[in-house]
Structures are given as C-alpha cells and as structure tokens.
Amino acid sequence: MSQDLPQPVVLESSRPLQGERVTFTGTLASMTHRQAHRLTEDHGGTPVTHLSRQVTMLVVGEEGWPLEADGKTSLKLQMAVGLINQGQPLRILNESDWLRLLGFEQREREVSRLHTPAMLQQLLGVSANLVRRWERLGLIHAQQRVYRLPYFDFREVAGVRKLQELLHAGVSRSDIETSLAALESILPSVKRPLAQLDILERDARLLLRDKAGLVDPRSGQRLFDFEPSSDSPSGASIDVPQLKLHAAEDDVVDLEARASWSGEQWYQEGCRLLEINDAKGAVEAFRLALMETPSDPELHFQLADALYRSNNLAGALERLHAAVEHDHDYIEAWTQIGCLKNMQGDAAGALHALDIALHAHPAYPDALFHKATILEQLGRAEEADELWRRYLKFDRKGPWADIARQRLGLVDDPETAADVPEESPAEPHT
C-alpha cells in the first residue's frame, strides 16, 4: 500500500513578513489594498489599517505620489517619520521594494510596466489624447516606440496626473515642491519632477482673451481683467499682439493673434479643445493645422478622433484611412478603423483592419483586446480565449484585464494568471 510523500516543512522564520505589522499608504500600482492585505497574511505578516506604535512596516504605493488633496504628504507618512524620529523601529518601503522582499519579481516589474495610451486611459482615467499631448509638451517620455505607437512608464504618467490634479485644485507649486522634497528624504528613489511642475503650472494657467475680456478655456468662466488699455473704458480688454507665456502670471492668448499661429500651435489647440469636450472646435483647429502639413498622419488621426466625438463616424473613418495612406504602419489608426467598422456592423472589415495592426505588431495589447471582443461577439469563443490570454501578458490590473479574466473564468487574485507569463512589448515584424 503506497504512502503519500512527506510534504516539505516550511519554517515560520522563512516567511519574509513573519512578525511584521504592515500598513499601506498611497495607491498601489500593482494591486488593490485588499489584495495587499491578503498577501501580507500569506507571507506571515499582520495587515493593519491604521498606523500606531505597534506597526513595524509602512509600504508606500507607487501610483502617483502619496500626497493628500492639500498637497501635503499623507498623514500616515508624516506620523511614520515622527515615530522613526522618536526611535521607533519602523521601516518605510516603497511598493517595489516590498514586492522584492516578498519574492514577487514579476509583480515588481509590473509596477514599472509599459502601457499604450489607450491602456493608460483605462487604468488612470487619463484620456489617450491627453497622454499624447503630455508627451508633445515634454511632460512624459515614451520608453519604447513600435512604429508610431508609444509605450509609457505607468508610474511616470500617474505622477503627472497627480501633480496636475493638485495644481488644478489650487495647491501652490511651493507646497507641492515642499512635499516632494520631504518624500525624497524618506524614499531616495523619488525624484523631484520640477521640470514637470514648470510645464504643468504654465499649461494650467493658460487664458484666452476675446473682445469681452479673459476666459478660462477649460471651464468657460469669465475672469476679471485687470489690464484695461489706457484709452479704453474701465474693464475693457486690451489688444495683445503676441502670445505671452509666463509661469509667474496668468498666461494670455489674444484671439486675434491666432491668425498667425503655426500648424503646431493649432495642433496643440485642437488637443486642448478635445480635453474640454469642444469637439467641433477641435475639428476646425486640426483642419487648420493640416493646411500647413497636409500629409501628417498624426494630424489625420487626431482629426478622426474629433470627428468621431462630433458623431461623424463616416468622416472619422475617412480620416483614419488618410492616416494609414500616409503611413501604412500606423497601427493605432488601423486599430481604430477596426473598432469603428465593428460599430458599423462590418465585423469582417473590422477583423481585417485589426489583423493588419497585429501583423505589424503581434504583441499590440489594444488590438488583441478589440479582436478578442469581436471574435466573442461572433461566437468564436475558442479563438477569443487565446487572445484574452495573450492580452493578460501585458495587463493584470485595469478594467480590460478584469474583462479578460472574466471571459476566461479566472479568479480576481493578486497571483492570477500564473499560467499566463508576463511579457514586454515585442519588436515589430519587419
């Protein structure tokens, strides 16, 4: 009679968090706080919600900065520094170091995983158009590019989003700088994004001047104009002969000066108008930009986005086809063609467009997701499942990943998809 083989004995002391009381602050980039609590228990530690003298480890999430709505560092972080200064044996780790301690090298890599603009839109709620605009302004930098498709570091985009939210909420730059300096002293890996603050602050305060005075282009709100001309009635607006871009004071664009704008300026204006949901205005701005560079595929792509938001589906498809005529390997445009053709009920045309994108870039996550969706709609579940699994190699956290797991019947767990190894964007076919 056979006997079961003895199971290896796992010493409690070998568990990396044995005896640790762990709490978390900020938003985790790799998982939810609930999942982090479960992992803490699985590795011998005790997860706690509040910071106290009994806590031995504070883990700082790496999605954006651990800053409150007023720009100050999180209360837990402030309290932790105070306890350490009092001699309390408390360790502060960033999320990546914590994952490394647990032996989760794969999850650690996930924190700095590269994402396309469309994936970032799903993960962070930052529109793909804004991501592209941030790159054009120099706020973020593509870590990898496949043809025209940029891949960005998740943490960099999340950090910029946090800084923008604080500036738009009225938090002063000096307060943000003070908090970032404090973070840098606690976590040496944190770099102070002063250049990003420069650009964001200027961009956040851009105003337009029309015949009636100053207007905030994002809200449409009229503002007091304290610069009336000497020969005009009180409160009248003055003529500004050129763009004024000064971070120290409200920046003003004279509407009359637009007559001499370059194509790049009209491009930026179109992107800005899309961000404030003025799609019709964006259509005109992109058309004016195209007058200077009519063969620019990116301008056609952006005009297609504006036309789509204006409910002009046929016009959007026409511009997307113009984009791929000027650059056949514009895989984002091919993917959008696939999505719009599917909306028109042309599933065969949609799959053809997506196959063109995937032939050029087999590891393109957006195209994998959309093709899987269409195949499932057509009842081709087995083919769709293969693509869902391929998509999960690139995304484990976002809403699209949740859909893929649901379609595959996988449990939402921090260690989900162990049979779906992680990958980075592959080189394109040549």
**What digits encode the pLDDT tens for the residues 165-216?**
888 888 888 888 888 888 888 876 666 566 677 777 666 554 454 555 544 4
Number of separate domains in the chain: 3
Let me know if residue 251 belongs to a domain: no
Give the number of other CB atoms < 10 A from CB of residue 292.
15
Residues 365 and 399 in one domain: yes
- Which amino acid appears at position 80 of this protein? A
Average pLDDT for 266-284: 91
Residues 106 and 125 in one domain: no
- At 427 the pLDDT is 53
Let me know if residue 312 belongs to a domain: no
Q: What pLDDT, in 10s, does the model give residues 8-46?
A: 444 445 688 999 999 999 888 888 899 899 999 999 999
Q: Measured between alpha carbons, how far is 98 from 167 in angstroms, rounded to an integer?
A: 30
Residues 367 and 428 in one domain: yes
Q: Measured between alpha carbons, how far is 184 from 190 in angstroms, rounded to an integer?
A: 5
- At 130 the pLDDT is 87
Give the number of other CB atoms < 10 A from CB of residue 306.
27
Are residues 264 and 296 in contact, defined by beta-carbon separation less than 8 angstroms? no
Are residues 357 and 364 in contact, defined by beta-carbon separation less than 8 angstroms? yes
Q: What pLDDT, in 10s, does the model give residues 299-311?
A: 999 999 999 999 9
Q: What pLDDT, in 10s, does the model give residues 369-397?
A: 999 999 999 999 999 999 999 999 888 87
Tokens of 383: 């083919």
Residue 244 backbone phi and psi in degrees, to 5 = -115, 120
Q: Measured between alpha carbons, how far is 330 from 360 in angstroms, rounded to an integer?
A: 9
pLDDT band at 65 (very low <50, low <70, confident <90, very high): confident
Most confident among 82-96, 155-169, 217-231, 332-346 (mean pLDDT): 332-346
User: Does 219 have pLDDT greater than 50?
Assistant: no
Domain boundary among 160, 184, 202: 202
User: Does 221 have pLDDT greater than 70?
Assistant: no
- At 237 the pLDDT is 32
256: Cβ contacts below 8 Å, ≥ 6 apart:
239
Let me know if residue 210 belongs to a domain: no
Task: List the beta bridge partners of residue 152.
Answer: 115
Going by C-alpha positions, the residue among 61, 15, 67 that lies closest to residue 41 is: 15
Q: What pLDDT, in 10s, does the model give residues 78-115?
A: 999 999 999 999 999 988 889 989 887 665 566 667 89
Range of the domain at 44: 15-111
Domain boundary among 86, 111, 136: 111
DSSP state of 429: P
- The C-alpha angle 399, 403, 408, rounded to 5 degrees, equals 145
